[in-house]
Amino acid sequence: MGKVGMKQLAEMIGMSASTVSRAFRSPHLVHPKTRERILQVARETEYIYDAAAGDFSRKISTVIGVLVPTTKRSLFSESLLAIQDKTQEKNFSVIIGNTKYDSAVEAHLLKQFQGRRVAGMILTGFGLGHEKLVEDIIKSGIPCVVIWEKLDSDVISYVGFDNYKAAYSITKYLISLRHRRIGLIIGPYSKMGRTRKRLEGYRAALTDHGIAVDMSLVVEKDLDLLEGKQGMIRLLGLEQPPTAVFAASDTLAIGALAGAREMGCRVPDDVSLVGFDNIEFAAYCEPPLTTIRIPAYQMGQLAVRTLLEIIEKGTPETHQYCLETDLIIRDSCAEFKS
Amino acid sequence: MGKVGMKQLAEMIGMSASTVSRAFRSPHLVHPKTRERILQVARETEYIYDAAAGDFSRKISTVIGVLVPTTKRSLFSESLLAIQDKTQEKNFSVIIGNTKYDSAVEAHLLKQFQGRRVAGMILTGFGLGHEKLVEDIIKSGIPCVVIWEKLDSDVISYVGFDNYKAAYSITKYLISLRHRRIGLIIGPYSKMGRTRKRLEGYRAALTDHGIAVDMSLVVEKDLDLLEGKQGMIRLLGLEQPPTAVFAASDTLAIGALAGAREMGCRVPDDVSLVGFDNIEFAAYCEPPLTTIRIPAYQMGQLAVRTLLEIIEKGTPETHQYCLETDLIIRDSCAEFKS
DNA sequence: TTGTAGGCGTTATCAG
DNA sequence: CTGATAACGCCTACAA
């Protein structure tokens, strides 16, 4: 059974390849009867449309590239899922790359995507410091939309949220509970713009409420459970431990919870704790975690819509959406007394 | 700066396109000096190799398709991560699809991958009942390797583990702790082969130890936290509740933990609990969960290696690897007394 | 070691 | 509405 292509298909029916092609891509241009027959025979012969060749011929592909720091973070996966859902509807394919927060890998994958002539890209958490790189790609004719970060550039499209504001608000919540010594366990802000915004939000909330920022209460940790645990242990071991802790990701927070247990410290009785992200597990730990909800799915969805729009129009334009986050109050905080 | 292609590049240097092509793909066939110069100019002009065109021309692509039920399950992501790591080394791209356990979507994506002329596919948890589909694709000339399941077919390559055996062993562990009424909270085994194997392992362990299987202790639930919680509540509400529960995924188990708390039931004092998967959170819940470790990363890694090998050789061959799982004992089980 | 020519499967363009 | 033809960017014989 030698692979059938359009040509073979056309021959079988006694028709030109062009007509067959049209039957698939512009059905309205071909006589219903003819089309019917074509589709019919296509089914019988199990003809498979060669998308690669089509893309190549049309000089615009139906593949979009998605860059994610790591699919292991469940919220990124959530965005990714949304991207795929939307994308499948339109019969686009998604090629994916994990950067692992490493900018060399980032650069490599970007090149790879360009080489594949993707129709567009969605860049996750591609924040501050990389504007130039993204701008160049856009200039080269490949539309990009950045998600997970509100950017300062006015030429790059994004669908993000305000990390600064969100961190500010949850810190403020802790302050409203009368806490004054508030610890922070946070990802590597020195190398990640997005994370840095959270740090800034935390600091601003403190100073705005007349609390001096004490950097000995800030621990910079990699983003995983163990590090969260260690961070908490360190904070709790301080001469004057904090009465509340803001872990700048739920993963860190859940690790912190374990750390508190290990130190014989009850949450929220002895120390209050908040997270950030509202991953699913946050509601199921003990105690359920107060945190910030991030509209991950929504971001992915909107990003695809935006990207596809730009691709279709064919004109470079920029759209920017800053979505809202919510404070989700559960049971991991108590009012500070003394 | 009109895009430079190979032709332009060649012209600039006063050389034919073929030589340029060779400089990239078969460096040894071109004079070092010439190659040097080509690479040099390529860099200067920021030439980007058109992988899409190359693939098309060569009639075999450097893209592999990966199908996953959902990237949200962290262990699938782990395999996915491994796949990408390995794949990047070889300069292959990964196109991805989430099936959401839906076989219509599965079929659609499979077609999409075929249409893109992928060089090969890695199918995750594409178990029992779909052998025919996979075999057809292999016959059509696209190598496939299935991961996450040990298959019975001897023509399909896989890198999996034995769900039956793993479930058997953890059930047996519970039995060794003198439990006799052992509940099971499990995913939709009626539609998922992989899950069904776990059910069978559980049943076999029971009967092999002279315990009658009581289907009222088996609850079939979708795979998420809430369902796990509900499952536990239901089991604990029984006239004669189980003294131990096997949740056939850690997600379910963590939900179950919350369910137990809600019923005022302590783990492991009042009821023992085990999970399956050993996701990262398992070690950080309260109490830390006894579970089965799945070599997710390793599976992804080995799958790529296997796939690439088959692709390179160009001859259809089948490799099958069944990896080991481990029982990870933590603090969620106690011996049954009375 | 390098150049020439033809081809990969589809689509766009231009006639008919 | 349908057909013929060139073209997309690169690769692979084959020839030099």
Residue A334 domain-assigned (yes or no): no
Protein-proximal nucleotides of chain C (any atom < 7 Å from a CB): 1-5, 7-13
Q: Does the structure show a pLDDT above 60 at B1?
A: no
Burial group, residue B329, by CB count within 10 angstroms (0-12, 13-18, 19+): middle
More confident residue, A176 or B2: A176
The answer to whether A16 CB sits below 7 Å from nucleic acid chain D is yes
B278 shares its domain with B177: yes
A116 shares its domain with A197: no
When divided into structural domains, chain A yields a total of 3
3-state secondary structure of B290: strand
- Looking at residue A132, what is its pLDDT? 86
Whole-angstrom distance, CA of residue A96 vs CA of residue A83: 11
pLDDT band at B338 (very low <50, low <70, confident <90, very high): confident
User: What's the CATH code of the domain at B22?
Assistant: 1.10.260
Share of chain A above pLDDT 90, in %: 85
Weakest-pLDDT range from A228-242, A278-292, B88-102: B88-102
Of A49, A61, A286, the CB nearest to B52: A61
Which of B25, B52, B57, B51 lies closest to B38, judged by CA?
A: B25
| Boundary-marking domain end, from B251, B274, B292 | B292
Q: Å from A206 to nearest chain B CA?
A: 30
Q: Between the CA of A49 and the C1' of C7, what is the distance in angstroms?
A: 19
Q: Between the CA of A65 and the C1' of D13, what is the distance in angstroms?
A: 35
Q: Å from B77 to nearest chain A CA?
A: 5
Predicted confidence (pLDDT) per residue in B211-264, tens digit: 999 999 999 999 999 999 999 999 999 999 999 999 999 999 999 999 999 999
Q: Between the CA of B119 and the C1' of C15, what is the distance in angstroms?
A: 40
> Which nt is closest to the CA of A19, judged by C1'?
D2
A73 shares its domain with A146: yes
Share of chain B above pLDDT 70, in %: 99
**Using only C-alpha atoms, what is the Rg of chain A?**
25
- Looking at residue A142, what is its pLDDT? 95
Residue A48 domain-assigned (yes or no): yes
Per-residue pLDDT, averaged over B304-332, amounts to: 95
> Which nt is closest to the CA of B28, judged by C1'?
C1
User: Please, are residues A96 and A39 in contact by the beta-carbon 8 Å criterion?
Assistant: no
Residue B330 domain-assigned (yes or no): no
> Which nt is closest to the CA of A59, judged by C1'?
D8
Q: B51, A117: Cβ pair inside 8 Å? A: yes
Predicted confidence (pLDDT) per residue in A63-96, tens digit: 999 999 998 888 999 999 999 999 998 999 999 9
Q: Which residues of chain A neighbour B285 with C-beta distances below 8 Å? A: 285-286
Q: Which residue's CA lies closest to nucleotide C3 at its C1' atom?
A: B16
Q: B48, A115: Cβ pair inside 8 Å? A: yes
Q: Å from B78 to nearest chain A CA?
A: 6
One DSSP character per residue, B295-315 reads -HHHHHHHHHHHHHHHHHH-S
CB neighbourhood size of A16 (10 A): 13
- Looking at residue A2, what is its pLDDT? 64
Return the bridge partners of A160, or none. A322
Whole-angstrom distance, CA of residue A134 vs CA of residue B141: 38
Q: Does the structure show a pLDDT above 80 at B2?
A: no
Q: Does the structure show a pLDDT above 90 at A130?
A: no
What value does the mean pLDDT of chain A take? 94
Residue A138 domain-assigned (yes or no): yes
pLDDT band at A336 (very low <50, low <70, confident <90, very high): very high
One DSSP character per residue, B70-110 reads -TTSHHHHHHHHHHHHHHHHTT-EEEEEE-TT-HHHHHHHH
Q: From A90, which residue of chain B is nearest by alpha-carbon distance?
A: B112
Whole-angstrom distance, CA of residue B298 vs CA of residue B78: 9
The answer to whether A117 CB sits below 7 Å from nucleic acid chain D is no
A156 shares its domain with A167: no
> Which nt is closest to the CA of B26, judged by C1'?
D11
Report the C-alpha dihedral over residues A139, A143, A149, A150, rounded to 10 degrees. Answer: 70
Q: Which residue's CA lies closest to nucleotide D2 at its C1' atom?
A: A19
Per-residue pLDDT, averaged over B156-175, amounts to: 97
Q: Å from A209 to nearest chain B CA?
A: 34
Q: Between the CA of B93 and the C1' of D13, what is the distance in angstroms?
A: 28
B156 shares its domain with B194: no
Residue B103 to residues B100, B158, B163: CA-CA distances in angstroms? 8, 19, 21
Per-residue pLDDT, averaged over B146-167, amounts to: 93
Q: Å from B61 to nearest chain A CA?
A: 9
Q: Which residues of chain B neighbour A222 with C-beta distances below 8 Å? A: none
Q: Which residues of chain B neighbour A95 with C-beta distances below 8 Å? A: 63, 93-96
More confident residue, A103 or A160: A160
pTM of the model: 0.93
A172 shares its domain with A244: yes
B146 shares its domain with B34: no
Helical H runs in A15-145? Answer: 17-25, 32-45, 51-58, 74-89, 103-115, 131-139
Q: Between the CA of B331 and the C1' of D13, what is the distance in angstroms?
A: 67
Q: Å from A151 to nearest chain B CA?
A: 27
Q: Which residues of chain A neighbour B280 with C-beta distances below 8 Å? A: 224-225
B187 shares its domain with B264: yes
- Looking at residue A128, what is its pLDDT? 66
Q: Does the structure show a pLDDT above 90 at B187?
A: yes
Structural domain for B71, as ranges: 61-160+295-325
- Looking at residue B170, what is its pLDDT? 98
> Which nt is closest to the CA of B25, judged by C1'?
D11
Which of B163, B112, B114 lies closest to B136, judged by CA?
A: B114
Whole-angstrom distance, CA of residue A252 vs CA of residue A261: 14
Q: Between the CA of B55 and the C1' of C6, what is the distance in angstroms?
A: 17
Predicted confidence (pLDDT) per residue in B105-116, tens digit: 988 999 999 999
B282 shares its domain with B308: no
Q: Residues 6 or more apart from A141 whose CB is under 8 A from it?
A: none
Q: A286, B285: Cβ pair inside 8 Å? A: yes
Spell B43-75 as b/e; 16+ CB within 10 A means b: eeeebbbbbbbbbbeeebbbbbbbbbbbbbbbb
- Looking at residue A338, what is its pLDDT? 73
Q: Does the structure show a pLDDT above 90 at A190?
A: no
User: What's the CATH code of the domain at B308?
Assistant: 3.40.50.2300
B74 shares its domain with B175: no
Q: A97, B88: Cβ pair inside 8 Å? A: yes
pLDDT band at B3 (very low <50, low <70, confident <90, very high): confident
Residue A144 domain-assigned (yes or no): yes
B65 shares its domain with B149: yes
Q: Which residues of chain A neighbour B115 with C-beta distances below 8 Å? A: 48-52
B74 shares its domain with B144: yes
Residue A332 domain-assigned (yes or no): no
Q: Which two tokens stand for residue B100?
A: 């959401």
> Which nt is closest to the CA of A115, judged by C1'?
D9
- Looking at residue A149, what is its pLDDT? 87
Residue B83 domain-assigned (yes or no): yes
Q: Does the structure show a pLDDT above 60 at B323?
A: yes
Q: Does the structure show a pLDDT above 70 at B128?
A: no
User: In chain B, helix, strand, coil percent, each to 5?
Assistant: 50, 15, 35
Per-residue pLDDT, averaged over A177-194, amounts to: 90
Residue B43 domain-assigned (yes or no): yes
Of B53, B93, B98, the CB nearest to A112: B93
